[in-house]
Amino acid sequence: MRLFNIALRNWLPSVFSISLFVASLRAESPIQATSSSERIFRVPASRFQNRPSDQLSVDLRRGIGPDDAAAIALYSNPALRAIRDRRGLAAAQLIQAGILPNPVVSYARDYVTGGNTAGTVTGDNFTAAWEFSALIPFLPKQTAARKNFRSVDLDVAWQEWQIAVNARAAVYRVLSLNAQVARAHEANDGLQQSTDAVRKAAEAHEKTVLDLAAVESASQDSRATVLALQQEFERQRLGLNKILGVEPETNVALREGLTLPTRLAPPDERGLFDGLESRRLDLLGLQQGLESQDATVRAAILAQFPKMSAAFVKASDTTNVHTSGFNVAIDVPIFDRNQGVIATERATRQRLLDEYHQRVFEARSDIATAIADIRSLDRQIAAAEEALPLLEKLVNSAQTAIEQRNADVLSYYTARSNLLQKRIQLIKLQEQLLEAHTALEIASGRYLPINRALQTK
């Protein structure tokens, strides 16, 4: 068993770093991890956790909640490690953009090896040249690399944000399946007891074979439901382990007291639309990418200027005559005027612009869809809750009628099965409500707290 203490502190106005310190529960005092275990995360902590404080304690002895799962996933999810490596590549490109071409230095010697060698000496030639036309697109290239680094940085933050939100959603799924399995087990245990009782009664000729067949059929159906839900629960549990970055055999316990909400009041749609382009990290990243590509287009246009280099030449020939001078070389742009590169960069810029507009459109559409789903699921949950007391009353009435021998057993177990299915359906609707809430968070790029039972205590 491990105790995680995750410290969230400001690194930049919108950037937090998370330091993970792992201590054995058997140790007398916590052991601080080495500095190599510290990670700098690009996603603001306020985007995935509810508490405004600088400290989020994760004690696995009492289980984890949704915000705990988000924090742990940010630290240990293997996919994020590979995603963060992109920042190193962008940083390397930024360094490369600030490097000018090297000067070229050459030296040659001419030895006299034959012929009329009277009065001759060994000749030499020294040349120092530099291509100064590289200065023309130098600043746009630097701007493009700097903007690209910011774009990659924001894209990494967007990936972290999605991992964090999906980790919270994974907790919801496990919580929902756990509740469904518990309901199914409860119903199955009751049916098993009823089956045993009816079997004994049939052996005593107090119940008919038809009654026994009805209860056994209901019991088998209930058992099949339990097995199917257990399979789905195990799949969701492994999904939670995967996103948390822990081994499949690890049993990640959820904190006690977590409940599924029955109502969610979505924020105003217009309020989520306002400022969407300046809030969603992927859109901010695309904006930086567009600015980077615009600078790349300018650099490509400036690169139309012919390559020019200047050289200083100092030489002496075999007659011992010494000369000093210079040399200027200029490409003549007759065939290659960099038109292919310019067309490619302009097409790339147009593609990024169209992708940006597409993302904005999809984000607005996803927000509207998620809000509509939340409102619809609110109504469906309310209808299911209204139906539950009626089904429970029907089951109680059928049970009383059977005890008084005024109804057949099949009708009773049909009513009981309908009640079980309705209870499971209610839990599934609550899970779908949380899924729609998660979709709304991702689409809007905003952390949207739900009920207190799902917040970190």
**Cα-only R_g, the chain:** 36
Measured CA distances, 164 to 178, 246, 356, 453 (Å): 21, 15, 23, 19
Short-list 434, 395, 431, CA closest to 179: 431
> Which parts of the chain have pLDDT scores under 50?
1-41, 52-54, 451-457
**pLDDT of res. 348:** 94
Short-list 415, 390, 387, 417, CA closest to 401: 415
* Residue 171, both tokens: 């907790």
**pLDDT of res. 408:** 65
Measured CA distances, 193 to 19, 189, 384 (Å): 53, 6, 28
**pLDDT of res. 403:** 74
**pLDDT of res. 255:** 86
CB-side neighbour CA atoms (13 Å) of 27: 10
Cβ pair 63, 135 in contact under 8 A: no
Query: At which residue do the structure tokens 């992927």 appear?
Result: 282
**pLDDT of res. 45:** 53
Query: What are the residues facing 58 on neighbouring strands?
Result: 4
Short-list 214, 169, 167, CA closest to 191: 214
Cβ pair 330, 292 in contact under 8 A: no
Give 215-220 contacts, CB < 8 A, sequence gap 24+: 215/191, 215/409, 215/413, 217/413, 218/191, 218/413, 218/414, 218/416, 218/417, 219/188, 219/191, 219/192, 219/194, 219/195
Short-list 147, 108, 55, CA closest to 313: 108
Cβ pair 329, 308 in contact under 8 A: yes
Count of residues for the chain?
Answer: 457
Cβ pair 407, 401 in contact under 8 A: yes
